[in-house]
Chain A
Amino acid sequence: MDSALLSLLAAFLLSLIGLLAFIWSLRKGLLFENPRAASTIFAPGEIGKADDPALDKDAAKRLQEAISASHQGEPQAEDPEEIEDRIAADRSSAFPVFMFIAFGCMWLILGATAGLVSSLKLHWPDWIVSDAWMTFGRMRTVHIIAVLYGWITNVELGIIVWLLPRLLRTPLKGPLWVMLGGSFINVGIASSIGAIGAGWSDGMEYLEIPWQIGLFIQAGMICIIGSVFYTLLHRKAHELYVSVWYHIAALLWITLLFTVAKLPGVHFGVQQAMTNWWYGHNVLGLWFTPVALGAIYYFLPKTIGRRVRSYNLSLLGFWTLAFFYAQVGGHHLVGGPVPGWLITLSIVQSMMMIIPVAAFSINMAGTMWGRMRLALYSPTLRFMMFGGFMYLLSSLQGSFESLRSIQQVAHFTHFTVAHAHLGAYGFVSMVLFGAVYFMMPRVLHWEWPYPKLISLHFWLASIGIMIYFVFLSWGGWLQGLAMLDATREFMESVRVTIPYLEWRSIGGGLMWLGHMVFVGHLLVMILRFGPNRTGEALFAPEKMKLEMMHGK
């Protein structure tokens, strides 16, 4: 056997052994003190408080009794300090969070519109083409910048800034710095969209933002990180909940990734392509995904009033992601003039990502077990569960899609586009919607006025993304087969996709309508036009209550 192959194999195995040793030492407190292993994990007396102020007193009491009974001897006493901390935390973060969500929703409308226009252009090629900025090449890029950086990044920053003070039980330190950082970032996003419309782009996937404008985004991230770390240092909470790991790490990762990938005058040739996809895949796996996972880890158990199943699974999921994700991007360069061992290693690591996905999914399934029905009644839970399930689906699909045998057909087709939307929309955006539905009443001190609109939004978004994904994957696969067939003309591989592209526009149109409902509803809430409701916005409060009482 080749000695070079042996050393590659040895490096792979050694890194795995290193990871296991690291996780084991964390559990045993070898490196630093592990408060969780040493002492109680239950904060004094909190779990299972009934969450429905719409109930009258008797009903609330019955509900509380039922929940207490279902928790079988777990400490129940209310911890009044925690609620005070929570109120103080929410008050300190309200303005920055509102700013991030508002900007995010604005970019969502713009980005979704640009996306729908791009989708329509694929089967109506002559529609609105009179100016350069209206053409597909720029419109699609505007869509990408607006949804990835404008919508997802803004709302994820909002979630981080809202959750950390709660989880650390400390008011946010330096909210003005966070808002300054947010302003820098949004100036950067607005300028990038203008620059791309005018034809100024760095020309690499997900890195189109010109580096001069990227400086604004870097400055903004540094302001936010400073404030977040200051909050972390002044925390009252003894232990760090799993969401905190994901969120803090993701903030550091994205800043490092973006800065390295945007260094001017450094990346050339093959190395530039590798940097491009190192960034391109990491921005998904080390920024969008961990923040959304952190949000699920918080909101899902929060809504159902249960504890997360296993701390050990959380450790396994987080550290396998952290150790190995950075090598995944190379599989985009299959077929390129790149060393074979690099592609092979990247494919192996892409498949290894099944480990964190399995760890997360088993953990969440264990936590939810017996309470899945609650998704019928609670909007946040419904979006979170849908998102969590799509995370499982899109990650498994992504792992197998990296294999050479699948790429032979799927590479350079619409199949990849469908996969990207399943991840960025079906998983991440749905989680963000759920989080916004939970956060905004606490930020604005006003309930969602029309719960039915939330339900409408959910069905438009979920049916839309399913139509989008199924038809585009199907069409993409046929496209790939047609391109492989040497007896068919290339144009045939284009023509075969047209009906599927039309279905994609229909799915995209439904998603776009959903966004209109969502942002319109938020606007009504901000302006306080609607009814002043007092209870939580649930689809069926009475059934939710019964399920909490009598469910497992």
Chain B
Amino acid sequence: MATNHDDTRAQKRENIDPKEMIRPIPIAASLVTLGMVVFGVIYLLISEPLTTAQYGDQRTVADLSGSPQTADSNQAAAADGKALYAAQCAACHQANGQGVPGVFPPLDGSEWVQGEPRILANILLHGINGELEVAGQKYQGMMPAFPQLSDNELAETITYIRTAWSNRADAVQAGLFEAERQSGAGRTTPFEGGAALKALMEKNN
């Protein structure tokens, strides 16, 4: 501590510690208090928090369920092929459709994707387990089946992959899946690779 100055001068020079005066609450503060209480009661009454099932911000299920529903009975919501691809396929085939070299075959430029839609539909319905040649390269992998998706969703998905990136093939209707589900009902295992797919192609031709 320096000795050339008074250590307590700051304490000595300051104003007195504050105190409070006793005064009635100003009319403005009373009015604000009263106003807020009235607001609270009215808000509780008009927002009906208990009588209707709502999301917290007053939107209802109808507001949140997306685009208007079609009259077309059981396949209600319009499917979004791109979103389905991102959710179901992109983990292996990648968002750019290039797959992973040597592991997951590409969809972009694939002869299977742009070829006969009936075969592509069967791949999605039953999956593949065996050797498959895509764009000149052999793959030894397993493609799962997607029977849990509706016909409409499957059709939107393959329409998307047939037209995305550099692919330029025709769109596919949900009816194709309906037909192929019935004709392939006997199959319980995935296709055993490219040979089995070719056999299917020739059989129906």
Which positions in A face B, CB cutoff 8 Å?
Answer: 2, 4-5, 8-9, 12-13, 16, 36-37, 41-43, 46-53, 79, 82-83, 86-87, 90, 166-167, 241-242, 297-298, 300-314, 316, 320, 333-336, 338-341, 343-345, 347-349, 351-352, 354-355, 358-359, 362, 366, 404, 407-408, 411, 441-442, 445-447, 528, 532, 534, 536
Contacts and interface: CB of A to CB of B under 8 A. Distances in A.
Contacts of A316: 25, 29, 33
A88 to B, nearest CB: 10
A303 B18 CA distance: 9
Nearest to A16: B37
Residue from B7, B28, B48, B50 having most chain A Cβ neighbours under 10 A: B50
B109 to A, nearest CB: 27
B44 A5 contact: yes
B165 interface: no
Interface stretch (B55-63, B125-133, B166-174): B55-63
B56 to A, nearest CB: 4
A352 B13 contact: no
Q: Binding site of A, secondary structure by majority: helix, strand, loop or mixed?
A: helix
Contacts of A86: 11, 17
Given A241-B18, A312-B23, A534-B5, A8 B49 contact: yes
B13 A51 contact: yes
Contact of B50 (A8, A303, A313): A8
B130 to A, nearest CB: 40
Nearest to A535: B13
Nearest to A341: B49
10 contacts: A12-B40, A297-B18, A309-B21, A310-B24, A312-B25, A314-B20, A316-B25, A335-B56, A351-B43, A366-B26
A5 B18 contact: no
Interface residues of B, number: 48
B49 A307 contact: no
A358 B22 contact: no
A349 B40 CA distance: 8
Contacts of B58: 404
A-B complex: 5 closest residue pairs judged by Cβ atoms? A301-B18, A46-B16, A344-B49, A305-B15, A341-B49
Given A16-B37, A310-B25, A341-B49, 5 more contacts: A4-B50, A49-B14, A320-B33, A343-B56, A407-B57
B23 to A, nearest CB: 4
Contacts of B20: 36, 41, 241-242, 307-311, 314
B198 interface: no
Nearest to A407: B57
Contacts of A528: 2
Residue from B1, B4, B36 having most chain A Cβ neighbours under 10 A: B36
Interface in B48-74: 48-52, 54-59
B183 interface: no
Nearest to B4: A532
A297 B59 CA distance: 43
